[in-house]
C-alpha cells in the first residue's frame, strides 16, 4: 500500500472571519483521497478568529484541540492570534513552531494594513514579506475585496456625503482630515489611526 501523503500546510495570514473556508475545502477535495490540508489561521483579532471557528462549526467541522477538523475532505484548521504591534521577527519565531509551511496565503488588504510603528529602516510590510519568504516557498497574495475595512469605509463615505451636502463645520473637517476622496479612509490599529 502506498504511504499516506504528508499534509499540505498553509498559513492563512490575516485569516479574519474565515472568508476563505470554502476555498480551503475545495482545495482539499482537489488534492484527492488520502491527502490532507492543514491551515494555520493567523490574525490579530481574536473576535475574527472566533467568528472563523463558528463558521467552521456551522459548516460541519468538529472541534479538536487548538482548532477544528473535517474528515471529508480532510481539513484541519488551527487558530493563532498575533499582536497588532508584534515585530515581524517575533511573529516569525511563533509561526516557525507551527510550520513548516508549503504556502502562505494573504489578502493584500491584510498585508497593506500592517502599520509602520518604527520610524527608520524597512517598512513592517517589507519585513513581513521577508518573513514570509523564509517561512514558505510560495506566497499567494490576493487583491482584497471591498468588504475589507467596511466599517471605516462606510464612516468616511458618510462624512464625505455630509461635506458634499454643504456641511463645512470644523468638527467635520477635523474628522475627515485627508480622507477627502472616495476610497480614502482612516482605520484604527492598536489605539492609533492609519490612512
The pLDDT, as a whole number, for residue 53 is 95
Q: Is pLDDT of 114 > 90?
A: no
Pick the closest to residue 15 from 79, 86, 90, 95 (CA basis).
79
The pLDDT, as a whole number, for residue 12 is 95
Average pLDDT across the chain, whole number: 85
Half-sphere exposure of residue 113: CA atoms within 13 angstroms, side-chain side: 24
- pTM of model > 0.85: no
Distances (CA, A) of 47 to 53, 107, 125: 10, 18, 23
Is residue 141 helix, strand or coil?
A: strand
Is omega for the bond preceding 62 within 30 degrees of 0, making it cis?
Answer: no
Distance, CA of 153 to CA of 146 (rounded, Å): 9
* 60-74, 108-122, 144-158: least confidently modelled range: 108-122
User: 156-160 — which CB contacts under 8 Å span 24+ positions?
Assistant: 156/184, 156/185, 156/186, 157/182
Give the mean model confidence (pLDDT) for residues 19-38.
86
Amino acid at each position: 500500500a502506498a504511504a499516506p501523503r504528508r499534509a499540505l500546510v498553509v498559513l492563512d495570514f490575516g485569516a479574519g472571519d474565515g472568508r476563505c473556508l470554502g476555498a480551503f475545502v475545495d482545495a482539499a477535495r482537489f488534492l484527492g483521497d488520502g491527502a490532507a490540508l492543514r491551515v494555520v489561521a493567523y490574525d490579530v483579532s481574536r473576535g475574527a478568529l472566533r467568528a472563523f471557528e463558528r463558521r467552521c462549526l456551522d459548516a460541519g467541522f468538529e472541534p479538536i484541540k487548538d482548532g477544528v477538523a473535517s474528515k471529508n475532505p480532510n481539513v484541519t484548521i488551527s487558530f493563532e492570534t498575533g499582536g497588532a504591534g508584534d515585530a515581524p521577527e517575533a511573529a516569525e519565531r511563533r509561526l516557525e513552531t507551527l510550520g513548516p509551511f508549503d504556502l502562505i496565503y494573504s489578502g493584500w488588504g491584510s498585508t497593506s494594513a500592517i502599520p509602520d510603528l518604527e520610524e527608520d529602516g524597512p517598512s513592517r510590510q517589507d519585513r513581513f514579506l521577508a518573513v514570509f519568504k523564509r517561512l514558505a516557498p510560495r506566497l499567494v497574495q490576493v487583491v482584497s475585496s471591498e468588504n475589507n475595512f467596511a466599517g471605516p469605509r462606510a464612516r468616511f463615505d458618510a462624512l464625505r456625503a455630509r461635506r458634499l451636502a454643504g456641511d463645512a463645520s470644523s468638527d467635520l473637517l477635523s474628522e475627515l482630515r485627508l480622507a477627502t476622496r472616495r476610497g480614502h479612509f482612516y482605520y484604527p490599529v492598536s489605539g492609533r489611526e492609519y490612512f
